[in-house]
Amino acid sequence: MSRERVRGLIALPVLGVMGALFVWAFTGIHGFGDFHGAYGLLLDHIVVPLRHSPNVVNPIVFDVRGVDTMGEEFILFAAVLGTVLLLRSHGREESEERQLDRTVDAVESDGLRVVGVLMVGFALVVGLWLVAFGFQTPGGGFQGGVVVAGALVLLYAAVSFRAWHRFANEEAVDPLEGLGVGGYVVVGLAALASGLPFLQELFSLGKTGTLFSVGSLPVLNLATAIEVAAANFTLCIEFLNQYALRPRTGR
């Protein structure tokens, strides 16, 4: 019996059990709006008057558990830093132009190029909107940062690696990641310098439902968006460089 057949026979019952558990989990979900969690209901009642934000999730992330969110940013920063140290080669620059000359991966369809370029702008606007209005509507720095990074990566899929490579400047992106993760800490230190607890509110709260209703939390939100966007963009730069610029073997 071949190894592939053995793997298939083992996988079938495992997938069957996992599928049954998946269906069972969905059938046990409460209906939409039927929520009975005491912690969630408590936050739903206190966050709006506390932070003047109708989107309860974001004040929870940046206020109720603001220190935990700062730790998550540093985890992402450290993970990307470790990946970059593993992938970035010191000697790659010497042969990079020569390898780039041999790279032929341009999108040949004019229609696909036009639609792709338009989607870059559309995705970028959506990402920035998620960052700016995350306290009033679903969104925030984490979600918006990922969408912004995805919009930048779309240039590679819609045009060519050459266009992407000229645009994806590692030296320009690296400081942005540090700015994002460091900016979050600066807001907390500014509160301490003002005689307030770490990450305490620095500005006055505005009218609920407006862009500046939540005081200093948009600054934390923006710092998170910069960190997340730069981190994901950096990873894509390294992975695509690994794919396109490293010598191929076995060809």
**What value does the mean pLDDT take over residues 242-248?**
65
**pLDDT value at position 96?**
54
**Residue whose pair of structure tokens reads 């053995």 in the numeric block:** 6
* CA neighbor of 183 nearest in space, from 219, 145, 215: 219
Whole-angstrom Cα distance, residue 80 to residue 83?
5
Whole-angstrom Cα distance, residue 215 to residue 44?
19
SS3 content of the chain, % helix, strand, coil (to 5): 70, 0, 30
Give the tens place of pLDDT for each residue, 107-166.
677 787 788 888 889 999 999 999 988 888 888 899 999 999 999 888 888 877 777 777
Q: Which residue has the higher pLDDT, 95 or 24?
A: 24
Answer whether 148's CB lies under 8 Å from 229's CB: yes
Q: How far is CA 157 from CA 116, 161, 229, 247, in A?
A: 8, 8, 18, 21
Answer whether 62's CB lies under 8 Å from 216's CB: no
Look up residue 63 and give its DSSP letter: I
Answer whether 54's CB lies under 8 Å from 136's CB: yes
Whole-angstrom Cα distance, residue 233 to residue 123?
14
**What value does the mean pLDDT take over residues 72-96?**
77
Q: pLDDT band at residue 225, thresholds of 50, 70 and 90?
A: very high
**What value does the mean pLDDT take over residues 47-54?**
83
* CA neighbor of 60 nearest in space, from 45, 75, 73, 82: 45
Please say whether the dihedral angle defined by the alpha carbons of residues 35, 39, 43 and 45, taken in this order, is positive or negative: positive
**Residue whose pair of structure tokens reads 């936050």 in the numeric block:** 43
* CA neighbor of 199 nearest in space, from 50, 43, 72, 66: 66
- As a residue count, the chain comes to 251
* CA neighbor of 205 nearest in space, from 132, 135, 128: 135
Question: Quick one: how far is CA 172 from the chain centroid?
Answer: 18
Give the tens place of pLDDT for each residue, 28-41.
787 777 777 788 88
- The average confidence (pLDDT) of the chain is 82
Q: pLDDT band at residue 91, thresholds of 50, 70 and 90?
A: very low
Asked if the model's pLDDT at residue 224 lies above 90, the reply is yes
Whole-angstrom Cα distance, residue 145 to residue 2?
46
Give the tens place of pLDDT for each residue, 66-78.
899 999 999 999 9
* CA neighbor of 95 nearest in space, from 251, 250, 247: 247
**Which among 31-35, 52-56, 158-162, 202-206 has the top mean pLDDT?**
52-56
Whole-angstrom Cα distance, residue 204 to residue 191?
13
Instruction: Enter the tokens of residue 30.
Output: 């409460």
**pLDDT value at position 99?**
54
